[in-house]
Amino acid sequence: MPRPKRDLSPLRDIIITAYREQTSVSDIVALLKDKFDLDITDRTSYRRLKEWNEPLHQQRTADTGQLRSIIEDEFYTRGSSDTEILRYVRSLGLPLSKAGLERIRKDMGIFRRRTPAQLEAQLLQVVDFMETPSLSSILIPRLGRRSLLKHVLQVAHIPVPERALYETFSQLYPEEVARRWQQMRGKRGGFTVPGPNYTWSIDAYCKLQDFGFEVYAGIDAYSRYIVWCYVGISALNARSIFAQYLWVVSQYGFLPMVIRADRGKETTMVAAAHFWLSLGTTSLRRLHAPLFGPERPFQFSDCWVYGKSTKNQRIEAWWSQFAKGRSTYWVEWFKQLRQEDLWSRDRLADRIALLWTYMRELSMVTNSLALDCPSLLSYVRRFLIGHLPADRLFLISSFTICAHSSSSSSGSSSSWSEVYISNLSFSFLADSSTCSCFAAV
């Protein structure tokens, strides 16, 4: 009597999706064994794929300029592993095998393992990079171990091991290492959040305000991931923060359960907007929080928490890192320009020239620090089922809004806010009736 046929129809979509993402049949079999405790052979998988009219020969890796650009960006900018690069490239619909990725990566001169001679050569490059007078050489002594590793990888494109890099750093900057050891005596207080995107902390950074640069950012309190970071001239404007919030939630496609902020005047419109949008999630909130109660009305405090800036721990901790690793240099440099009478706040031409000269560079530096913060990848994996890729599930990447401007059209009560993100321009209409509606809620 023949063995009964295995019913794989409940897992058909999972198998086909993984196969179309260029996952090998052996890896699919291992996945089914690991996730669903289903023990099948490669031949069984091939037979089912044939029954489902799937081609039995996967596409070969296509070595293109686009693929190489993606690999380079993922490796140097995000520090992704080969598995993460494979998953991301396949999610874009590009054919890429594990062997093909390794071959292309090595052809590009990107190695994950190195000989002692290669390591010594890389460390010499690191020393030259640190000692060469530049903005990086000024910032490097302020960076910690992990930030230093990512900074060297992103800026100098030198993939050196963390331990070897920090040993070199310790030899060049022994005073900074000793100072950091002294600062490690303090212990953080307890702060717990249920999970990713439950609480966002938002706040402004005003240390550069005297020179015309305003920074506003939001951080996920669970993962300390930078949700968004604005660098411009209107971070203390309620309408600007309102526009940033609307753009962010429209791009991500979800709302945080709670936003934590101080009582600054710039948060009035965004608080009203978040409350108004959160009203549509009341049933979902009751489903995940039974103690909420079906008869208790939804309240403003259920989605928005006010508190002093000193109590907004997550964003304040990031501002502290931002000051140590980035902004202190800029503040000292701008003060030097003012002391030498090369810049004055009273001269309009000076203010415009400073913004024109340093706005883009300051935006890039701020975005670089945002990319140094933890990715949600390690946190998201805890909430995944099946084979779903963790990359890009919640937040694709941090971004910096480089400039923000408003202009009124004659004969119309509407005005357009132009938000420039990297090299792309996004526009959305913020008319007076919409703003009044949100403010009235």
Q: Is the dihedral of CA 71, 402, 408, 414 positive or negative?
A: positive
Q: What is the DSSP string of 374-438?
A: PPSHHHHGGG--TT---TTSS-----EEEEEEEEEPTT-S-EEEEEEETTEEEEEE--HHHHHHH
Mean pLDDT of 321-328: 69
pLDDT confidence bin for 402, thresholds 50/70/90: very low
Q: Where are the domains of the chain?
A: 9-51, 65-107, 116-183, 199-440
Is the pLDDT higher at 196 or at 401?
A: 196
Q: What is the mean pLDDT of the chain?
A: 74
Q: Which two tokens stand for residue 273?
A: 């907007």
| Threshold 0.75, pTM exceeds | no
Residue pLDDT, tens place only, 147-156: 788 888 888 8
Name the H helices within 279-372: 282-288, 313-322, 328-339, 348-372
- Where residue 417 falls (left for φ over 0; alpha for ψ -120 to 50; beta otherwise) is beta
Q: Is it the case that residue 438 has pLDDT exceeding 50?
A: no
Distance CA 82, CA 308 (A): 43
- Which three-class secondary structure state does DSSP give residue 240? helix
Q: Which two tokens stand for residue 327?
A: 């902004």
Mean pLDDT of 274-301: 72
Q: Which two tokens stand for residue 405?
A: 């401007």
Distance CA 73, CA 312 (A): 33
The per-residue pLDDT for 422 is 30
- Please name which of 426, 207, 210, 194 lies closest in space to residue 324, comparing C-alpha atoms: 207
- Which three-class secondary structure state does DSSP give residue 258? strand
The per-residue pLDDT for 187 is 58
Distance CA 421, CA 314 (A): 24
